[in-house]
Amino acid sequence: MRILAALNSRIVIVSVSGLIILIFYSYITLNNYPPRFSDIHPPPSSHCALDFISQVNCLSNHSLGSNEIGIGKESRQAQQQQQAQANYAVKNGTALERSGNLKEAIKYYDKALQLEPNDPDLIVMKGDALFHIRNYTGAIKYYDKALAIQPNSRGSTGIKEAIGDALYLLGKYNEAIRSYDKALAIQPNNPDLLINKGNALLHIANYSGAIKYYDQALTVAPNNVQAGEGKKLAIMAQQKSANNSTK
């Protein structure tokens, strides 16, 4: 009887213990307690470490990396689409400019610049179009902007010359000379630059200076008609000025 009573007592204890464990497990499950490592089943291809913390971190990082790759791909696609739209606008703009429809060309250059606002080539293209419709002030603005982005580019000499030409046509001869000097510092034997500076000096009645630069141009390009004609005009003006001063 004692043995039977002891056995029955053990059965009760085991049953109660099992019931307590079952209740505790249910409580954990219902309250969403963090899962144990044994509850996680990583995919067969997973390279994550076999401990709970490393497993969670590894899976999280893998997910984040996938998202970053997706975002990077979408960003590249958006950039490519934007570039294609800008190229299309430029293509239309250049076609219109060649046909002489400069105002419409400028509209397309503006569309391209909305997509690529810091593209120096586009900026210069708009500056050139403005120059050709005699909006010299506007042209200078865009040329200056292009130089600010790429001050030492291969095309910087031409841009500085264009700024000088625009200033010359605005009657700002001294400013034009300063711009030509910047270009000549890079290309001292450029005959066009030498002639342009000679023309500007002629307009401010610096005849000897004008003759000097026409001569330099003729040294580089002996058959240059503009340099020859400019020198003749400068000599005539110098003689006339000398005669008037003696009267």
Residues 133-186: pLDDT tens digits? 999 999 999 999 999 999 988 899 999 999 999 999 999 999 999 999 999 999
DSSP, residue by residue, the chain: -HHHHHHHHHHHHHHHHHHHHHHHHHHHHHTTPPPPGGG----TT----SSHHHHHHHHHHHHHHHHHHHHHHHHHHHHHHHHHHHHHHHHHHHHHHHTT-HHHHHHHHHHHHHHSTT-HHHHHHHHHHHHHTT-HHHHHHHHHHHHHH-TTSTTHHHHHHHHHHHHHHTT-HHHHHHHHHHHHTT-TT-HHHHHHHHHHHHHTT-HHHHHHHHHHHHHH-TT-HHHHHHHHHHHHHHHHHHHHHH-
pLDDT tens readout for residues 112-131: 999 999 999 999 999 999 99
Number of residues that make up the chain: 247
Tell if the pTM clears 0.75, that is, is over it: no
pLDDT number for residue 70? 58
Please name the residue that has the structure tokens 């400013």.
Answer: 175
pLDDT number for residue 181? 98
Higher per-residue pLDDT: 136 or 96: 136
pLDDT tens readout for residues 192-239: 999 999 999 999 999 999 999 999 999 999 999 999 999 999 999 999
pLDDT number for residue 59? 44
Structure tokens at 19: 């019931």
What band does 13 get if pLDDT is binned at 50, 70 and 90?
very low
pLDDT number for residue 65? 54
pLDDT tens readout for residues 64-88: 455 556 566 777 887 888 888 888 8
- Lowest mean pLDDT across 23-27, 36-40, 47-51: 36-40
Structure tokens at 62: 């893998």
pLDDT number for residue 44? 47
What band does 53 get if pLDDT is binned at 50, 70 and 90?
very low
pLDDT number for residue 76? 81
Q: How far apart are CA 195 and CA 198, in angstroms?
A: 5
Structure tokens at 38: 């044994």
- Amino acid 106 reads I
